[in-house]
């Protein structure tokens, strides 16, 4: 089975990896304190010298900035990372709760649709023997051993084998698209975890450099980049929730149609596969959407590179998906 991989477990492993790597930022605290201390010395000396040279009173308030940054460096894992993660954690949990609700509804409606589809095919005399073994054996028992009956019997075996082969092809292609869909989400989560680990470990150095004149924007840039990357996960869950909701609406419409006894179901699931392909491409727009929430200029280059790579990979995937769907559709029409 293509979907034998437990993707939820892989996402949990990435979350655990981030939690275990966060304390490593304390290893750079000593270096950062040295850089920040030297920068604070130059910063305070320059401000005091300027005030004395101009015979102006010394403004103490701006001189407190390097000391505040120094306190952030000393307690970086708890004071900086802990505060940001605590504030943003409810957003992540809320979006993930929406995803779990929509996924549960989708699975419930999918099981109901499969059951109604099986019953509809079983009611139809032309397809009953294809989906039900008992109906197939019953139809065989009604035939005799004449030449015409033997030809009919052989045709029934061929039709049943062809039907099962088509179902296996559709199921395999659907599982392949679902695997690619889940893999796209795992790629986004892996890159997000890598970015967060790098920002967390090197965060004290960024704070220390921000003490120097001309590098003050490093502090705000680090905060905006960290928050922007952190928001990738809730945006990803919202995107998955939207796709799940669309599938629920489609399943609800199919279930309502199947309530009509004369309705002949279409088991190709072509629309569902199309939305899976859309979802695969849509996952790579998540960094751009997260960047709309809080602007992080330093991540835009990574976003462009990711979108370019996704576009190139998407062309290949779209060509393969189109060929496969066309092949299946051609067989159905034939």
User: pLDDT tens, 282-305?
Assistant: 888 888 888 888 876 544 444 454
Q: 206-246, pLDDT tens digit by residue?
A: 888 888 888 888 888 999 999 999 999 889 888 888 888 88
Q: Which among 74, 109, 133 is the end of a domain?
A: 74
Say whether both 173 and 291 belong to one domain: yes
Q: What is the value of pTM for the model shown?
A: 0.70
Say whether both 61 and 193 belong to one domain: no
Q: 14-72, pLDDT tens digit by residue?
A: 888 888 887 777 777 778 888 888 877 777 777 777 777 777 777 777 778 888 888 88
Go through 227-240 and write b for each residue having 16 or more CB atoms within 10 A of its CB, e for each that does not.
bbbbbbbbbbbbbb
Task: Give the residue, 123 or 81, on which the prediction is more confident.
Answer: 81
- pLDDT of the residue at 172: 81
Domain-located, residue 177 = yes
Q: How many domains does the chain have?
A: 2
Q: Which residues form the domain of 202?
A: 75-118+168-333
Domain-located, residue 80 = yes
Say whether both 32 and 114 belong to one domain: no
Domain-located, residue 126 = no
DSSP 13-37: HHHHHHHHHGGGGGGGHHHHHHHHH
Domain-located, residue 290 = yes
Say whether both 99 and 43 belong to one domain: no
Domain-located, residue 128 = no
- Closest to 256 in 3D by CA, of 268, 245, 265: 265
Give me the mean pLDDT over the 94-101 stretch.
82
DSSP 233-254: HHHHHHHHHHHHHHHHHHHHHH
Say whether both 189 and 234 belong to one domain: yes
CA–CA distance, 94 with 298 (Å, rounded to integer): 27
């Amino acid at each position: 089975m293509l979907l034998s991989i437990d993707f939820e477990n892989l996402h949990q492993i990435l979350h655990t990896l981030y939690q275990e790597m966060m304390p490593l930022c304390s290893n750079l605290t000593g270096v950062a304190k040295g850089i920040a201390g030297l920068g604070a010395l130059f910063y305070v000396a320059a401000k005091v010298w300027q005030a004395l040279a101009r015979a102006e009173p010394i403004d103490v308030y701006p001189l407190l900035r390097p000391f505040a940054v120094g306190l952030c460096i000393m307690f970086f894992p708890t004071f900086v990372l802990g505060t940001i993660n605590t504030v943003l954690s409810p957003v992540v949990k809320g979006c993930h709760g929406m995803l779990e609700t929509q996924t549960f509804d989708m699975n419930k409606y999918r099981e109901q649709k499969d059951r109604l589809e099986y019953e509809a095919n079983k009611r139809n005399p032309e397809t009953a023997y294809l989906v039900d073994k008992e109906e197939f054996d019953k139809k065989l028992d009604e035939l005799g051993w004449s030449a015409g009956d033997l030809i009919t019997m052989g045709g029934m075996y061929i039709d049943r084998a062809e039907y099962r082969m088509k179902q296996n092809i559709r199921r395999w292609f659907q599982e392949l698209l679902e695997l690619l869909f889940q893999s796209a989400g795992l790629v986004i989560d892996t890159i997000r975890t890598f970015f967060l680990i790098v920002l967390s470990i090197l965060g004290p150095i960024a704070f220390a450099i921000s003490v120097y004149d001309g590098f003050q924007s490093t502090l705000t840039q680090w905060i905006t980049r960290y928050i922007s990357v952190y928001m990738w996960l809730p945006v990803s869950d919202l995107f998955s929730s939207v796709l799940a909701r669309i599938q629920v609406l489609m399943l609800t419409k199919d279930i309502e149609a199947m309530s009509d006894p004369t309705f002949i179901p279409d088991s190709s699931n072509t629309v569902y596969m199309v939305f899976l392909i859309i979802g695969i491409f849509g996952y790579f727009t998540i960094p751009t959407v997260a960047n709309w929430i809080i602007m992080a200029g330093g991540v835009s280059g990574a976003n462009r590179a990711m979108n370019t790579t996704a576009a190139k990979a998407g062309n290949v995937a779209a060509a393969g998906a189109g060929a496969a769907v066309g092949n299946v559709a051609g067989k159905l029409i034939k």
